[in-house]
Amino acid sequence: MAKPQVVVAPVLMSKLSVNAPEFYPSSYSSNYTESYEDGCEDYPTLSEYVQDFLNHLTEQPGSFETEIEQFAETLNGWVTTDDALQELVELIYQQATSIPNFSYMGARLCNYLSHHLTISPQSGNFRQLLLQRCRTEYEVKDQAAKGDEVTRKRFHAFVLFLGELYLNLEIKGTNGQVTRADILQVGLRELLNALFSNPMDDNLICAVKLLKLTGSVLEDAWKEKGKTDMEEIIQRIENVVLDANCSRDVKQMLLKLVELRSSNWGRVHAASTYREATPENDPNYFMNEPTFYTSDGVPFTAADPDYQEKYQELLEREDFFPDYEENGTDLSGGGDPYLDDIDDEMDPEIEEAYEKFCLESERKRKQ
């Protein structure tokens, strides 16, 4: 069987966004959908099938959830050799590092395939080959960080893709526990060193993007291990702001990043530990307490110092005069001419409004 030719996603120098419809031929989406529904029969090579799917995800990232399962099943029937697996890894890596805004989707795709591709040759499974491919770029980080503009741009794309991989690539242990790849954590730390060691504007901007993306997760992981790596990074940023010849805008970005980190990366802490409300610790403790009235018509609540005495008097009065309400009103109807003249029936408008109120209350209670 002839080895399929690798077709790498080209870096297109166009004023159009790759997410714009104009980036693709007008018949792209319909052609892809028709071919995809028929499986991979209409594609002469693996690379064309995979590249078409990657372009489809770039244009319609929302289709990931509905189409990734069938894509993986098709790959399991096609990727049956070491060479085919290597080719698949390269195609995804190139798309994730050469197409703007595909690094996150590429990392999600890599995570899914690492758990659902069945092939596991001696050269390594999908995840192992992917990490080996990333290591190739990682080993030239120092040269890339000080290279020409094109080299640095390619290096920055790799750095941000590795950050997405660190957040999205799940490693499942033998006991079913899911963790992140520690090797990527170490790699990101060294990549930050390379960027700050060459404090050109675009390198520093890349470092800011990476820390905004992964800073909170990295710091939590380092703290769990008792490491102070984030403190060292922040100190290095402050030194760059003071000493480096970077632009004013970049220095402002770095200071904003330090501010973000000082606010715990913008994360909001839960409210303080719940304490049961008491009159001593809650000034509004008695706010919703009912109001009672003494026999003289003087109001009192549970907040009054002599509440217990007054309330006991109220209870005793009710025992002796069961026809009295708590506020002292006589309910016996003992000859009050005003009360006697009141009709027991409601006004029709009031009755209708009351019925609507009851129905609305019942509806809300059932929701």
Q: What is the pLDDT of residues 164-177, one digit of tens each?
A: 999 999 998 788 88
Average pLDDT over residues 304-322: 60
- The pLDDT assigned to 243 comes to 85
pLDDT at 342 exceeding the cut of 70? no
pTM of the model: 0.65
For residues 283 and 35, what is the distance between their CA atoms, to the nearest angstrom?
A: 69
What pLDDT score was predicted for residue 19? 36
* Average pLDDT score over residue span 254-268: 93
Top-confidence residue, 307 or 57: 57
pLDDT range class, residue 100, cuts 50, 70, 90? confident
Local confidence band at 338 (pLDDT 50, 70, 90 cut-offs): very low
What's the length of the chain? 367
Summarised one tens digit per residue, pLDDT across range 40-65 is 567 789 999 999 999 999 999 999 99
Q: Which of 100, 108, 97 is nearest to 72 (CA)?
A: 108
292 phi, psi to nearest 5 deg: -110, 170
